[in-house]
Chain A
Amino acid sequence: MGLQELLSTYGDMYVQALLVTWRMTAIAFAGAMLLALLVTVARVSPIKPLRKLGDLYVQIFRNIPGVSLLIICVYALPHLKVVLDYGVCVILTTTLVASAFGSENFMSGINTIGVGQVEAARSLGLSFGQILRQVVIPQALRSAVLPMTNLLIAVMLTTALGSQVPLDPPELTGLVSYINTRSVGGILAFFISAIGYAGTAFAIGIVGNQIDKRVRILR
């Protein structure tokens, strides 16, 4: 099957698959950022059990392969009477893994803030919550832009987990399996999907760099 035939037969499906990949990436990344922020706040809180819980969360979801989590979500959760849609399982899995890495990015952002600034805020009479909102989180966010850009790309690639479950319509990698079970797309079918991933990643990288330049903190 040549490129032209592939595109004329499956072109619309590729576009649709790209949109599915983008949508899952956007949802998973947004969820991951929110979770990562909450977990990070727990990890720097003055309450020790909460800190330990946050650390444990990161250890668990950073160290379990995405596929295993997906299998748990698809096959194990129904035993607990939790039946989630395949697409939801993929997004959930990606979100959990990415939130663990995201929290690590925030933590290293926080570590760049001198303890002195926190002490200065404390000596002005700010509460723990105010110090987080005014001093710690804004700086951690800004210095996390580049690592989070990387994470966003990783999230997009992780949504390829969607190829392991029946999705309708499929995402980019799932579409390749779909095509290759029906006709002989071969390596070319993969290649077109790869262009979708690489092009998106390239654009994400450029935007990430621009944002970083704009918000970077002078030191």
Chain B
Amino acid sequence: MSNEAQGMRPIIELSHVEKHFGKLHVLKDINLSVQKGEVVVLIGPSGSGKSTLCRTINRLETIDSGSIRIDGELLPEEGKELAKLRSEVGMVFQSFNLFAHKTILQNVTMGPIEVLHTPKAQAEAEAMELLRRVGVAEQANKVPAQLSGGQQQRVAIARSLAMHPKAMLFDEPTSALDPEMINEVLDVMVELAQEGMTMVVVTHEMRFARSVANRVVFMADGTIIEQGDPDEFFDNPQSNRAKEFLNSIKGH
């Protein structure tokens, strides 16, 4: 990593981001920058604002003030420019959100065909390659409801990858999965991280955070309380909030 330090530039850059849900102050002066190839894990108790933060990065949530830049470009507020920027940032959701009426293959080819205007044959060839990579190529002609949760989430990852994103956002990608399916999804994510994908991951999976994250960001009550190297954070958290949180999820 240090050799690349000079060439490093932030792919995602949030500065002084504020957001309210009504009276609730959900994001308070958030400053965060994610370098190219970096894997950042957002962690924190529920209601801490970590999912909201993740969703502001492609403007599924609007912000009240502050700024968000993707690859140096200010995130547009709406219209074509916003759609274009969104197409460059992949998003994987807790509940998969595959298109229920389309086949697995169509789920993956829709973005490239509609947004990037990739010819259908080429989009399908690429999609099959991606589906092979995440291990669900045999399911290409089924519809989402016929797949297990783990398979659906891997399809969702392939769907995002088909857009050749500059960065990927994962909003609790394994929280809706049965325990035996969590690893098949994490394995795909680990592989992605190793290939150098820039990733922001909201998760409670400590093992994943330790093994692939470059940085752990701990949030509570809408603010970033502390951040740092994963091993350091998990073994020796600095703040009381982080200690409390880590204790509360340990011990089973």
A residues lining the B interface (CB < 8 Å): 113-114, 116-117, 119-127, 130, 134-135, 138-139, 142, 217-219
Contact = CB atoms under 8 A, between A and B. Distances in A.
Contact of B97 (A114, A125, A134, A217): A114
A126 B99 contact: no
A138 B87 CA distance: 22
Contacts of B95: 114, 116
Given A119-B93, A218-B143, A218-B146, A124 B87 contact: yes
A116 B93 contact: yes
Nearest to B78: A46
A218 B80 contact: no
B100 interface: yes
Given A113-B100, A126-B110, 14 more contacts: A114-B95, A117-B97, A117-B98, A119-B91, A120-B98, A120-B99, A123-B86, A123-B89, A124-B87, A125-B83, A125-B86, A127-B80, A130-B115, A218-B143
Contacts of A124: 86-87, 110-111, 114-115, 159-160, 163
B84 A123 contact: no
Q: What 9 pairs between A and B have smallest CB-CB spacing?
A: A125-B87, A218-B145, A116-B97, A123-B91, A124-B111, A120-B97, A125-B115, A125-B86, A125-B83
B180 to A, nearest CB: 23
A142 B115 CA distance: 24
B60 interface: yes
A113 B110 CA distance: 17
A40 to B, nearest CB: 17
A217 to B, nearest CB: 5
A218 B145 CA distance: 6
A125 B116 CA distance: 9
B83 A126 contact: yes
Contacts of A126: 83, 110-111, 114-115
Contacts of B145: 217-219
B57 to A, nearest CB: 10
A125 B93 contact: no
A142 B101 contact: yes
B90 interface: yes
A77 to B, nearest CB: 41
Contacts of A127: 80, 83
B153 interface: no
Contacts of B83: 122, 125-127
Contact of B99 (A117, A130, A142, A218): A117
A142 B100 CA distance: 11
B35 interface: no
A129 B58 CA distance: 19
B170 to A, nearest CB: 12
26 contacts: A114-B97, A116-B93, A116-B96, A117-B98, A117-B100, A119-B97, A120-B97, A120-B99, A120-B159, A121-B110, A122-B60, A123-B60, A124-B86, A124-B111, A124-B114, A124-B115, A124-B160, A125-B83, A125-B84, A125-B86, A125-B111, A127-B83, A130-B115, A134-B114, A142-B101, A219-B145
B53 to A, nearest CB: 15
B99 A135 contact: yes
Contacts of B80: 127
Given A124-B159, A127-B83, A217 B101 contact: yes
A120 B91 contact: yes
A123 B161 CA distance: 12
Contacts of B100: 113, 117, 139, 217-219
